[in-house]
Structure 1
């Protein structure tokens, strides 16, 4: 019984690594769209004093989150085709993730990637704006969209951990997940 348990634990620990390697293989070829959930941020909801223009009123990256964002950038630079464009939610945790990982020069704030207000969901117009941007992308490098869990779920029907990359392609009215990269 102990041997079976050990084997199961080993197999389960290898699954994310295999998925991550498959994700890097996709990004090496370029021309892909990546939904990247912002790096590690303490807490689960924005404070009541939230102001989109003031980072002091928002949940910001933890030290571990900043380290994770640096790792993302280093790995994208080393293992993927050029990152052609980076669009980010205007929330400070997403913008900071994007800027640390990819540098200020590439990062463009994109309001459609903002998470919905508490108790609301992404609306059809917001989803369509994101989908139109994804459908229009035809670059040889990769397009990275730094956003939030709610947006990733609305677009794919799947969750993503903080700092996880979900590689997608348009499929009818939605997105098809091609691969994932987990940044620990």
Structure 2
């Protein structure tokens, strides 16, 4: 059973991302367009996060990602297909003690912009980021052994932040 563990933000998460980025770039060398560190571990002002590195890869053709499943298994990643999000390929690493979540989308997917805007919005709005980090701490204390309840508990705030991020990004693009 997965436990919900929240830790104080650390620069080590950026280092962990950089190490994994190099490996993944080599695996997907013929498909990769871009790669990003996303999620709470990429936002210092959040203060707290699950120690799981979220990585987003943008590829030329999402269908070709499935050709790398065996290589990903050898690296400890579990191919989960779309896993509930159409047009995505999802690979968690670390089984019950997860270390990484890899999300792969094809160029042009709206999900790419959503993830990047969410991160950028929280980087530019530290009060919102801190609020999100504090919610994570409180939920982890409330549901240490009920990861699903932890996830459900933060969903409303995640949706609110995603909406704000979308509007914020739209205004930025419009004024540029």
Query: Which of the pair is proportionally richer in helix?
Result: 2
User: TM exceeds 0.5?
Assistant: no
TM-score, normalised to structure 1's length?
A: 0.28
TM-score, normalised to structure 2's length?
A: 0.28
